Structure 1
Amino acid sequence: MKHLLSAVAATALLAGSAGAQTNLEKLGQFKVTGTKEHTFIDQNAPAADSIRRVLEGITLPEGFKIELYALVPDARHMAMAPQGTVLFVGTKKDKVWSVMDRDRDRVADEVKDFAPSLEFDVPNGVAFSKDGFLFIAERNRMMMYPAAEFFHESPDVVAVPIVPQGTLIPVEEESFNHTARVVKIGPDDKLYVSLGQPFNVAPPEKLDLYNEVGIGGIIRMNRDGSDREVYTYGVRNSVGHDFHPVTGELWWTDNQVDGMGDDIPPGEINRQTEMGQHFGHPWYGGGSTRTNEYAGQEVPVDVVMPAVETVAHAADLGMTFYTGNMFPAKYKNAIFSAQHGSWNRTTPIGARVMVTFIDEEGNATIEPFAEGWIDENGEYDGRPVDVAMMRDGSILVSDDFANAIYRISYSE
């Protein structure tokens, strides 16, 4: 709580400057902004029936079923509140959505925008601490929202910029490309934030700067934004990470280099065992495949190769370790991850949910879990983005193409 109070105090000091106050400054002083209305999404819209028809064609292992949970525009990464009352959903646009199942029938009955008095810029990454703080990672800002599970009912919420606008990365490095940040809270109670680099292959003149600030890597900081450091190097664009529930090790997906052909380079799921490890970019385009731009050059760092190589251009995004009790025992501590689907491939691939099993030595194998979002014409009916677990042990899958969230459950 002392971190919250100090951050709020700093916000209030900033708000004391001359001139009209912004809404963020008003909220920092616990003032109202005058915003009165939320935007609500009709859960009975005609799109719901169309999505349900698509879900009839999704294949799953025996005993599992998939159902429409909610209609959520541009649904990306998800964070379930600690008490399970509300799901927060990020987007690559300018909204964060709160999703509620008030009657507890495992189908959402209310979807509305979170904190409509504030402006968001690519608020893709959302994460909750166990003690109820919501963190949102934007293109170039990190925000903290205390008790968002309860304050989301109002258009005005307590909002603390723990990494103020324009300081997550240098402003001159802001881009429209690879800006979907992901944030998770580690076993050390620190924030881990991915910073995708904006190029297909990072040019040599950018490498020193990117290594310094953590672009093309994963950074770590305290929950109040202090003591920032680079935890992971050599990443192209990671849009999903989580911590092994037993070992505490960081595992993460990485989207690899485009333009090298249909079948290379492979995508990656990586296992990180200590701070400072390097995972190969820009010398490697994915797995052991060297990039054209750095071909023949000596690799000046020790590179950790991926724990799992995935099919080329499937766009592995969000992932979560399964710690629930609903699914059969073999899924305990396995990774459920979303493949968004390829754009840089002659024949589309991906658009499915994968499961990765990890043995006691850390060896990993991956296989499809839920698939069928590419139809017989090679057209997308959906593009999964992220996976999150509900308190009952079922999982949720977001889809920013169908504007939906699905629930996958199991019964014998």
Structure 2
Amino acid sequence: MKRSAIAVAAAVFVAAVLPSLAVAAPADNLQKLQSFKPTGTAPPEKVPQTGKNADAIEQNLKAIKLPQGFKIELYAIVPEARHMAVEPSTGVVFVGTRKNRVWQVTDRTKRRVADDVVQFASSVTFKVPNGVCFSPDGILYVAEQNRVLAFPAAQFFGEGGPDVAAGVVVPQGKLVPAEFESFNHGARACRVGPDKMLYIALGQPWNVPPKDKMAAMNKSGVSGIIRIGQDGKNREVYALGIRNSVGLDFNPADKTLWFTDNQVDGMGDDQPPGELNRATKAGQNFGFPWYGGGKVRTTEYKDAQIPKDVEFPVVEYAPHAADLGMSFYTGKMFPAKYQGGVFAAEHGSWNRTTPIGARIVYTAVNKDGTAGATEVFAEGWLTPNGEYMGRPVDVQQLQDGSLLVSDDFAGAIYRISYSGAK
């Protein structure tokens, strides 16, 4: 696609969508970017893909255990790599962080390894741009701690330097009320749903919230999942009773929304369980803070009246494994056993005497849309003596059907492929 054609396509987006979006403060460069004006920002940071660090990570990957026929390789060195979004037409991968950078990862030769890792939109001042997701028509959304931005033709504009076409879907400070903005549970996750709405998970800032904050949280969708038009309009609360979800995806078979949830700390090594949940309609409540995880009641709300029709998790994961990013597998590379199921990343525990997690788990999904058995798919980032060599955050599928795994501890993305007998 020629750059002139890209500019025309982006101009169409700007003319059709950006006028209805909010105007940002000039200091953030977004007004200039919305008008296709240069900002004078220095060239973006580039990340070397070879050297001692890459060699050490490749060596560590030899300890990862996978089912027969699978292999794992280093795909890219990406500092603080968190959630990923794969551009639908080119396979360029955009990677969020919990710091102030978004990365653009490009495999130009389709050798299934990154050729370039470059800071994306370096003229924009990001704050915890963890959540990245694409619409089917190729618009990149970045869900920050308290703002949502849109970037049309991101994979092309990002190659040209620090300045990109940009729009503001939710202005700074308007995603969550100021009283709920916190470094704790401030990493967002997002997906564009089958209804073309943007779904964003909003973690609440406490371990267990005070009772006098519940009404305000429910009103704004904090401790839940909201959905909003891609133009920033028609915001509504989709689901409540969620402590801190940092992973969601839609089942392509029945369009239901599935999401992980991190559960209450300080309740002991072996409770409560982590969660994989399934939302079948708007307005459901998933039980937090009355339940700390699964059906384990919290001390703080043990005598409080429980909402009607609480939805319990479809899968109870291991306690304190910190389940984060998840995706339905829609590819054909992996054996039939894995097709249509859920891969989820367990970041690894901190609030447990003996750490657990730092692995990828797989859950089968039955034809009726219910969850089947769950098993460990990839492990070995947690050594026998309790040291982390890596901490998986997210799982996303490349166009060839292989699986990418991000790791914010090692600062890397891995690629899992299958070449065994099918």
TM range (shorter): over 0.9
Letter in 2 for 1:279: F
Is 1:331 matched up with 2:325? no
Q: Counterparts of 1:252 and 1:9 in 2: how far apart (Å)? A: 33
SS at match of 1:5: helix
* Distance in 1 (alpha carbons) for counterparts of 2:183 and 2:348: 19
CA contact (8 A) 1:3 1:223 kept: no
- Give, as a single letter, the amino acid of the residue that structure 2 aligns with 1:350: G
Partner of 2:175: 168
Structure 2 CA distance, aligned partners of 1:168 and 1:350? 31
Match of 2:74 among 64, 68, 73: 68
- Residue type of the partner of 2:404? L
**1:281 maps to which residue?**
288
How many Å separate the matches in 1 of 2:60 and 2:221? Answer: 40
Amino acid at match of 1:8: L
d(CA) in 2 for partners of 1:384 and 1:365? 21
Q: What residue is the counterpart of 2:314 in the other structure?
A: 307
TM-score with structure 1 length normalisation?
Answer: 0.96
SS in 2 for 1:260: coil
Shift of 1:14: 4.2
1:45-64 matches, within 5 Å, as 45-64=51-70
Letter of the 1:51 counterpart: I
Asked whether the equivalents of residues 125 and 181 of structure 1 are also in contact (C-alpha less than 8 Å), the reply is: yes
Alignment of 1:8-407 (within 5 A): 8-9=18-19, 14=23, 22-154=28-160, 155-361=162-368, 362-407=370-415
Deviation at 1:344, TM superposition (A): 0.2
* Counterpart residue identity of residue 253, structure 2: V
Structure 2: any 5+ residue segments left out of the alignment?
1-8
Tell me the amino acid that sits aligned with residue 36 of structure 2.
Answer: F
Alignment length (residue pairs)? 408
- RMSD over aligned Cα atoms: 1.5
User: Residue 153 of structure 1 aligns to a residue in which SS?
Assistant: helix
- Which consecutive segments of 4 or more residues in structure 1 shift more than 2 A? 1-11
State the alpha-carbon separation in 1 of the partners of residues 250 and 75 from structure 2. Answer: 26
Given that 2:91 and 2:399 are in contact with CA atoms closer than 8 Å, whether structure 1 keeps it comes out as no
% identity of equivalent residues: 57
Q: Structure 2: which amino acid aligns with 1:101?
A: D
Report deviation, 1:297. 2.7
Structure 2 residue identity aligned to 1:406 = Y
Distance 1:355 1:404 in 2: 21
Aligned in 2, Cα 1:341/1:14: closer, same or farther, shift over 3 Å? Answer: closer
Secondary structure of the residue aligned to 2:225 is strand
In structure 2, distance between residues paired with 1:183 and 1:14: 22
**Displacement of 1:4 after TM fit?**
4.4
1 CA distance for matches of 2:135 and 2:297? 39
Sort the Cα spacing of 1:22 and 1:256 in 2 relative to 1 into closer, same or farther, 3 A.
closer
TM-score normalised over the length of structure 2: 0.94
| Runs of at least 5 residues in structure 1 that lack an aligned partner in the other structure | none
Q: Match of 1:148, as an amino acid?
A: A
